[in-house]
């Protein structure tokens, strides 16, 4: 079953783009900086104006209230956004503490991280926590924009394992943008190359 379908998507200098990704699968995209990878993710997440259409399991993006779409189709930016003084301000109180603790542990934290000041977080800690912040909302689609770019190899592996765990249990669909070819070989079912605003099928490197 195709979970996410993109038809004739055009935004800024990108497109038209055609893309389909099945439930539980990962499609990865690589390409030079400025080629349109982030623009594509932002359009799929309905964060930028665009033409064309996007479907999630048969539901049109244009027929879905933006807040509902963005809950189901979660965009994880390369540079995470933080608006409160403490980490806990970014994790709604209705989340099950045991569920949160599981994700914190997988991300290399203890539950005490909720009491940390955002100002004390390193860029890598922010990146891991921003991904956890999305996972606990249980989206159907994850749009990952360089999710391990600020991380050392050990923490990069943590993120790969977290996403794999989430995908296994939630049958989530993932689009993963990275410059790391070895990583793309590990995590992907399908790989695409972005060049000058166009998307092309690519082969895994041996």
Question: Is the preceding omega at residue 44 within 30 degrees of 0, hence cis?
Answer: no
For the chain, give every domain's residue range: 2-202
Query: What pTM value is reported for the model?
Result: 0.94
What architecture is domain 2-202?
3-Layer(aba) Sandwich (3.40)
The angle, 0 to 180 degrees and rounded to 10, between the axes of the packed helices 97-106 and 123-135 is 140
Per-residue pLDDT for the chain (206 aa), expressed as one digit of tens each?
Answer: 679 999 999 999 899 999 999 999 999 999 999 999 999 999 999 999 999 999 999 999 999 999 999 999 999 998 888 999 999 999 877 777 888 999 999 999 998 999 999 999 999 999 999 999 999 999 999 999 999 988 999 999 999 999 999 999 999 999 999 999 899 999 999 999 999 999 999 987 65
User: Which residues are CB-neighbours of 194 under 8 A, at least 6 positions away?
Assistant: 29, 30, 31, 35, 36, 37, 40, 200
Position of tokens 């989206």?
A: 139
Q: Which of 70, 193, 78 is nearest to 145 (CA)?
A: 78
Task: Say how many CA atoms lie within 13 Å of 6 toward its Cβ.
Answer: 23
Token pair 């189709």 is found at 73
Q: How far is CA 182 from the centre of its chain?
A: 18
């Amino acid at each position: 079953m195709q979970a996410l379908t993109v038809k004739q998507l055009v935004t800024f200098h990108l497109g038209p783009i055609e893309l389909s990704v099945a439930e539980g699968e990962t499609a990865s995209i690589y390409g030079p900086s400025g080629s349109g990878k982030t623009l594509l993710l932002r359009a799929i997440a309905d964060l930028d104006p665009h033409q064309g259409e996007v479907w999630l399991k048969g539901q049109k993006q244009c027929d879905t209230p933006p807040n509902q779409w963005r809950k189901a189709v979660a965009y994880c930016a390369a540079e995470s956004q933080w608006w409160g003084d403490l980490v806990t301000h970014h994790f709604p109180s209705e989340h099950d503490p045991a569920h949160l603790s599981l994700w914190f542990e997988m991300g290399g934290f203890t539950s005490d991280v909720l009491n940390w000041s955002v100002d004390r977080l390193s860029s890598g800690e922010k990146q891991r926590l921003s991904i956890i912040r999305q996972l606990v909302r249980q989206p159907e689609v994850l749009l990952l924009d360089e999710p391990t770019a600020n991380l050392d190899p050990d923490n990069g592996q943590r993120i790969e394992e977290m996403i794999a765990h989430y995908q296994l249990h939630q049958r989530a669909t993932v689009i993963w943008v990275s410059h790391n070819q070895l990583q793309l070989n590990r995590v992907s079912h399908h790989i695409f190359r972005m060049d000058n605003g166009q998307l092309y099928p690519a082969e895994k490197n041996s």
